[in-house]
Structure 1
Amino acid sequence: MTIKTKSLSSALLNKIQTKKATIGVIGLGYVGLPFAVEIVQRGFHVLGFDKNQEKIALLQNGESYIADISKEKIQQLLAHHQFEATYDFSKLSFVDVVIICVPTPTTVDGTPNISYIEDAANDIGQYIKANALVILESTTYPGTTEEIVQPILQKHGFVIGQDLFLAYSPERVDPGNSNFSVSNTPKVVGGVTSACLEVSKAFYETVIHTNVCTVTSPKVAEMEKLLENTFRQINIALVNELSQICYKMNIDIWEVIDAASTKPYGFMPFTPGPGVGGHCIPVDPKYLLWAGQQHGISASLIEAADKINDSMPNFVVERLEHYLRTQNIKLSQAKIVVIGVTYKPDINDSRESPALRVIQQLLDSQCALQIIDPFIQTFPIEQSLFNTVPLTEEIIQNADAVLILTNHSKIDYSLIDQQASLIFDTRNTHFLFKNKNYYKL
């Protein structure tokens, strides 16, 4: 590290550690907004950037669109002038540290779409001042930070590790998790150079209350995140496949999982469900598949897990159809109440939710549907928008079956137990159902 580089990094470190640095967060979604709020609560001034003007307008008016962040919290930050939401990216010129938290979807064929990252890097390169820190947090394939972001910033005249510092640190946000948040979940960070690593590690140590694990390169940190979610995808696929086998063998998969969980080592319980959802588990392994293909490696285990999880919505509908037949009711003539649209309980995020695929199959079967979800008012199915309805005794009484796809805590399960003709519970809801026609996945 040259004397000039050391001087620049020391000056930035001092601004961070004395909390005089202005922090920018690009992408105010389920990752960026909670992190921006956390940084403000650590005593920093934060500028939040997003190109979605509707989101910016809501935040500027003290509203929140994320269940984990209350509107009261947004209003408090605005009142103290600690947080500003904007779509004016020229304000990046006021920022000392910028965190990229933009979406990283895949195309229909599974190819990574990193256009949002490229756009963010170009905006940063155009407006950021020298002696700033840039950290990419969006989940992506190994090599993105150094092969995509770094050249874009260099194109704007910066020398990485000298007058601009660049690192990768994967987000670990788990919406709806009350035990682990941004503040107490350990961070992993890899810098392009030793100076980049030093500055980025100091930043995270200042804004969170837990360990910061450093790795030797951004590629290691990028791969680490893919391992996390692919690990989950494969284990969920295993237990989903076992649930299908257990059904054919008349074995309760949930009892099997409970029994296996008594082993104090070598086993980690995963649970079956109607599929996998959210932006991480259905999407991130595809980045790893694609990366493997670029190096001539076929990740057959990941592909198999993907197929198993994708088969679960169809398995759920087939099971429901079977249970209805025991009541002499055809699926095409049935009145079905679906509980839950979101991909996990107690959040308002329906991205990639397996419930959407189950609902689509039920609509295709021509049955009558009513959808109940206390966290979602409308949701899209293909090109149409559907409305949810409140849970009432009359709705449950008139239904031929209640299908539980998401186990929200705000549902009156005792009412369902008492009034439903038939219950098919894909989530082993933690309620002691006594209904004689109660079935678990």
Structure 2
Amino acid sequence: MVHELMNRIHGRSAKVGVIGLGYVGLPLAERAGRAGFAVLGFDVSAERVARINRGESYIGDVASDALVALRERNLIEATTDVRRMRECDILVICVPTPLNPTREPDMRYIEAASENVAASIRPGQLVILESTTYPGTTRELILPRIERNGLRVGEQIFLAFSPERIDPGQTSSQGFSVENTPKVVGGVTAHCTELASAFYGYITSRVVPVSSPDVAELTKLFENVFRAVNIALVNELALLCDRMGLNVWEVIEAAATKPYGFMKFTPGPGLGGHCIPIDPFYLTWKARAYDLTTRFIELAGEINTQMPRHVRDLVVRALNRARKPLNGSAIVLLGVAYKPDVDDYRESPAFKVYDLLVADGATVIPCDPHIDEFELHDGRRMRTVPLTDDLLRQCDCAVIVTNHRAFDYERIVTLAPVVVDTRNATRSIQGPLRAKIVVL
């Protein structure tokens, strides 16, 4: 089984199934197709499936032209029919791993995907989990399901974990993408690691094998915990600098001139995206099973979740300059996406800022050049509006939540009565206009 599957991988005759065609799955599917593998994508959304089969991308990191080219060569297809998983030699699970309302891991998507895999598993298949999760998931949730019918992992079937490392908005020409980001791989057995490493060797420029799926699972969480803790540290520094009357951005830039022993992080209105606000809590939850309280991680979470309230307070301060109350004011919210120059608004801090301002009686008008419509936490659908000169003149305050390059910041500061800048996007604006800006 091992040699046959290995030969199919090296000969690019192995068929790759990608389960979940979102921000992780679709870029992987597109890259695998460009590497010469025939790809069959699975998704519960019939709309997504239809768009892929028409050669239309709904993910900013994947060009529609690339999908059209793959469709013309019969290298990519999408379906909602999970029974077709049996056709695939390699199955890669790329489904969401959110938190439930009590901030504990919500494993229903991984469980559903692994049940579908188990129902179609056949000898000679390699199953890889890419979804970010707590250490032990691959062994505890997936392995017993796919061995249910008597097939043994490491002998007739193979299982590994390789965490996704997707940075939305990046391409290989700009920075890091699927094809040039090192891939950590941990298999249940040595053969599992070898097969998964061979596959990813055609996907990315460097593969990093580790001793087990548990190590690979913890590696991904540690990467995101590292960022969450350091962001919390610099956010706390921002709060202190605000009290002391110092410019935190100046402090950070000065510290960043040290050529060793310092890594630059910047403050902001709160955490966004699917990784940093969520993944650390997978580890805190797992740590409790070992009677350990991960205090650094939990403290970082407390600090980061308080930043939208600080933004609300800065808006109050900015309005005070104009002798206006927050209640009844019109606030233009600049940016809904969680990071600049993308249309991804998952867990965006803009939502919490929005809720806090509305709760205090403000009218909030969202503007984002990359997003036409978005969904709030309570399920309400909202549309953004174009950022016109009249809107800026007529509002009471403009709040920069996301520093999109498409925004003309000098125009914004010139026309808006006051501006709250949570990203230091207005740093180049000097002179009299500077007095209109309240910086995080």
Q: 2:300 aligns with which of 305, 310, 315?
A: 305
What is the rounded CA distance, in whole Å, between the counterparts of 2:311 and 2:196 in structure 1?
46
Taking the aligned partners of 2:13 and 2:53, their CA distance within structure 1 comes to 23
User: Which residue identity does 2:333 align to in structure 1?
Assistant: V
1:161 CA drift (Å)? 0.2
**Residue 288 of structure 1: aligned partner:** 283
AA of the residue aligned to 1:206: Y
Q: Which shows bigger deviation, 108-117 or 276-285?
A: 108-117
Which residue, out of 259, 263, 277, partners 1:264? 259
For each residue in 1:32-54, what CA deviation from the matched residue of structure 2 results, as whole angstroms up to 9, or x when unmatched? Answer: 00010011011111000011222
Instruction: Give the Cα–Cα distance (whole angstroms) in 2 for the partners of residues 127 and 440 of structure 1.
Output: 56
Alignment-derived partner of residue 425 in structure 1: 421
Residues in 1 aligned to 2:214 and 2:331: alpha-carbon distance in whole angstroms: 48
Q: What SS does the aligned partner of 2:104 have? A: coil
SS across alignment from 2:327: helix
Contact 2:318 2:419 in 1 (8 A): no
After superposition, what is the alpha-carbon deviation per residue over 1:298-342, rounded to whole angstroms, capped at 9, x for unaligned? 111111100000000001001110111111011112111110011
Q: Name the residue aligned to 2:189.
A: 193
**Partner residue in 2 for 1:232:** 227
**Matching residue of 1:202:** 198
For 1:303, the aligned partner's letter is E
Q: CA deviation at 1:430?
A: 6.0
Q: Deviations over 1:340-374 (max 9, x none)?
A: 01110111111111110001111112212211101
Q: Which residue of 1 aligns with 2:131?
A: 138
**Distance (Å, rounded) in 1 between the aligned partners of 2:385 and 2:329:** 18
Q: In the TM superposition, what whole-angstrom CA distance separates every residue of 1:401-428 from its partner, at most 9, and x where no partner exists?
A: 1100001111222321321211111011
**Which amino acid in 1 is paired with 2:396?**
D
Q: How does 1:145-160 map to 2 (within 5 A)?
A: 145-160=138-153
- What CA distance in whole angstroms lies between the structure 1 residues aligned with 2:365 and 2:68? 35
Q: Take 1:332 and 1:417, find their aligned partners in 2: how far apart are those partners?
A: 22
- Out of 10, 15, 18, which is 1:17 matched to? 10
1:165 partnered with 2:166: no
Structure 2 letter corresponding to 1:437: K
Identity %: 45
Bigger mean CA offset, 117-126 vs 94-103: 117-126
Q: Secondary structure at the match of 1:207?
A: coil
Give me the whole-angstrom Cα distance separating, in 1, the residues matched to 2:194 and 2:47. 37
1:51 aligns to 2:44 (yes or no): yes
Q: Following TM superposition, by how much is the alpha carbon of 1:176 offset from its aligned partner in structure 2, in angstroms?
A: 1.0
Structure 1 gap segments, 5+ residues each: 1-7
Shift of 1:172: 0.3
The C-alpha deviation readout for 1:219-268, integer Å capped at 9, x for no partner, is 00000100000000000000001100000100100000001101111110
How many residue pairs get aligned? The number is 433
Conserved? CA contact 2:332–2:398, under 8 Å: yes
Where does residue 405 of structure 2 map in the other structure?
A: 409
In 2, Cα distance between the equivalents of 1:383 and 1:278? 17
Residue 362 of structure 1 corresponds to which residue in structure 2?
357
Task: Provide closer, same or farther for how the CA distance between residues 15 and 430 of structure 1 changes in structure 2, counting only shifts above 3 A.
Answer: farther
Contact kept? 1:96, 1:132, Cα under 8 Å = yes
| Partner-residue secondary structure (3-state), 1:155 | coil
Deviates more, 1:60-69 or 1:228-237: 60-69
Q: In the TM superposition, what whole-angstrom CA distance separates every residue of 1:40-98 from its partner, at most 9, and x where no partner exists?
A: 01111100001122221222233222111222222222222210011111111110111
Partner of 1:86: 79
User: Gapped runs of 5+ residues in structure 2?
Assistant: none
CA distance in 1, matches of 2:417, 2:220: 44
Match runs of 1:291-370 below 5 Å: 291-370=286-365
TM-score (norm 1): 0.96
- Aligned residue type for 1:326: R
Report the Cα distance in structure 2 between the residues aligned to 1:399 and 1:211, rounded to whole angstroms. Answer: 51
Letter in 2 for 1:127: S
Q: CA deviation at 1:104?
A: 0.7
TM-superposition CA deviations, 1:193-228 (whole Å, max 9, x none): 1111111111111222x2211111100000010000
Contact preservation (8 Å) 1:126, 1:156: no
Does residue 97 of structure 1 match 2:90? yes
Alpha-carbon distance in 1 for matches of 2:257, 2:120: 56
Instruction: Work out the CA distance in 1 between the residues paired with 2:62 and 2:193.
Output: 30
Give the Cα separation in 2 of the matches to 1:335 and 1:12.
62
Paired letter, 2:394? N
TM-score, with structure 2 as normaliser = 0.96
Give the letter for the 2:304 counterpart.
N
1:3 is aligned to none
SS where residue 410 of structure 2 aligns? Answer: helix
Return the match for 1:255 from 233, 250, 257: 250
Once residues 74 and 394 of structure 2 are traced to their aligned partners in structure 1, the CA distance between those partners, rounded to angstroms, is: 52
Supply the distance in 2 between the matched residues of 1:300 and 1:159 (Cα, whole angstroms).
Answer: 40
Q: What is the aligned partner in structure 1 of residue 367 from structure 2? A: 372
1:106-121 mapped onto 2 (5 Å cutoff): 106-121=99-114
- 8 Å CA contact 1:342–1:348 kept in 2: the answer is yes
More moved, 164-173 vs 113-122: 113-122
Are the equivalent residues in 2 in contact too, given 1:161–1:192 (CA < 8 A)?
yes
Q: SS at the partner of 2:424?
A: coil
CA contact (8 A) 2:331 2:396 kept: yes
Three-state SS of the structure 1 residue aligned to 2:299 is helix
Residue of structure 2 in register with 1:440 after alignment? 439
Measured against aligned partners, the alpha-carbon deviations of 1:93-142 in whole angstroms (never above 9, x if no partner) come to 11011111011111111221111111111111211321111110000000
